Amino acid sequence: MRQGDGGLAAGLFSARLRRYGFIFSFLAIPLILYVVFVISPYAQAFYISLTNWRGISANPQFIGFENFTRLLDDDVFWAAVRHHGLLLLAMPLITIAIALFFSFLLNLGGGSRGGAMTGVWGSKFYRVVYFFPQVLAVAVVGVLFQAIYRPDNTGVLNGLLKWIGVDPVGWLINTDLALWSIMAVVVWQSVGFYVVLFSAGMSAIPRDVFEAAALDGAGRFRLFFSITLPLIWDTIQVGWVYLGIAAFDCFALVQVLSVDRGGPDNATTVLPLEIWRTAFTFSKFGYASAMGVALFFLTITFAALSLRVTRRERIELS
């Protein structure tokens, strides 16, 4: 190697080192904070799940996988897992279907006007209306629907049913209806966010594509299923994963709306609620951590499988 080539290589290496050092100087503090406040609690939870810690002793007894063995025989734990399974099947499907329908109406439902595809009349106003539940605090939503679901005729829903001669329905006290009633609230609050998300995806599609299809005689049904849906599939995939992760949560609404925190008869209990109750009501932090670890792996498994199953070949428009 000639002397000039060696000097050039050294200069390139020095420039690259300065560049990466500059980038690392910006990333170091966020990375340290992430490790301290996210990775570290996860690591501690994994360790605590292998102990019988009750939140007081500084030196908990190590018991290995005994907490996880107990989970296998815990009927309440499996009831919560079944509820998450129902939420995973129904909540994302319902929310995404409603959000896609509204998004299509707001962006393309008005048809072709002046040679351009437009949304329905008043679409800007409807965007605000749909998104409004998203800005409400979860506790406020819970209190609001407590009044709506009240089991006597003073409840909003039962008051409407009374007008048509239907007896009051125990929306939150009926074991067959309670979880579905809470799921309806989650969907109601979530739809607005996904309307905005899917509308952004539809707005990124060149209007020429829709206009060309409309000139060829494609109706709204064909525009949606043959053009819109394939082109925003990546956005739908992200929304599906978000909703699945949300289905593993639902702590706040279940806490506020359910009878006796997860009732009646554990008909609405979910794992985050059981983790909270086991830790802070019964002081079984080791067992609660084992539930948390199980929830962690359930969530990670769902996200990985969802991304794998819903993966499609990306469609790019030139």
DSSP the chain: --HHHHHHHHHHHHHHHHHHHHHHHHHHHHHHHHIIIIIHHHHHHHHHTTB---SS-SSPPB-TTHHHHHHHT-HHHHHHHHHHHHHHHHHHHHHHHHHHHHHHHHHHTTEEETTEEE--TTHHHHHHHHHGGGGS-HHHHHHHHHHHT-SSTTSHHHHHHHHTTPPP--TTTSTTTHHHHHHHHHHHHHHHHHHHHHHHHHHTS-HHHHHHHHHTT--HHHIIIIIIHHHTHHHHHHHHHHHHHHHT--HHHHHHHSBTTTBSTTSS--HHHHHHHHHHTT--HHHHHHHHHHHHHHHHHHHHHHHHHT--PPP---
pLDDT digits over 274-303, tens only?
999 998 888 899 999 999 999 999 988 888
The whole-number pLDDT of residue 12 equals 56
| Number of Cβ within a 10 Å radius of residue 198 | 24
Q: What is the pLDDT of residue 1?
A: 46
Above pLDDT 70, what percent of the chain? 85
pLDDT at 55: 80
**pLDDT of 42 above 90:** no
Q: What are the angstrom distances between the C-alpha of 44 and each of 48, 50, 282, 286, 292?
A: 6, 10, 20, 11, 11
Dihedral sign of CA atoms 69, 72, 75, 81 in order: positive
Could you give the CA distance from residue 34 to residue 42 in angstroms, rounded to a whole number?
11
Residue 35: count of CB within 10 angstroms of its CB: 11
pLDDT tops 50 at residue 62: yes
Burial classification of residue 261, based on how many CB atoms lie within 10 Å of its CB (0-12 exposed, 13-18 middle, 19 or more buried): middle
C-alpha distances (whole Å) from 308 to each of 247, 250, 314 are 19, 25, 14
Min mean pLDDT across 2-16, 219-233, 274-288 is at: 2-16
The b-or-e profile of 70-109 (16+ CB within 10 A means b, else e) is ebeebeebebbbebbeebbeebbebbbebbbebbbbbbbb
Q: Given the structure tokens 């997860």, which residue do they identify?
A: 262
Q: pLDDT-based confidence at 251, cuts 50/70/90?
A: confident
Residue 28 has pLDDT above 70, yes or no: yes
**pLDDT digit string, tens, across residues 155-212:** 888 888 888 888 888 899 989 999 999 999 999 999 989 988 888 888 887 777 777 7
Domain 70-309 has CATH 1.10.3720.10: yes
Residue 46 has pLDDT above 80, yes or no: yes
What pLDDT band is residue 260 in, cutting at 50, 70 and 90?
confident
Look-up of token digits 């206009």? 211
Find the mean pLDDT for residues 32-56: 88
Cα dist. 272→61, 254, 287 in Å?
24, 10, 13
Which of 53-57, 79-83, 289-293 has the lowest average pLDDT? 53-57
Q: State percent of the chain over pLDDT 90.
A: 24
Judge whether 220 and 117 are in contact, CB under 8 Å: no
Please write the tens of the pLDDT for every residue from 91-144.
999 999 999 988 888 877 665 555 555 667 777 787 788 888 888 888 889 889
Residue 10 or residue 139, greater confidence: 139
The yes-or-no verdict on residue 67 having pLDDT over 80 is yes
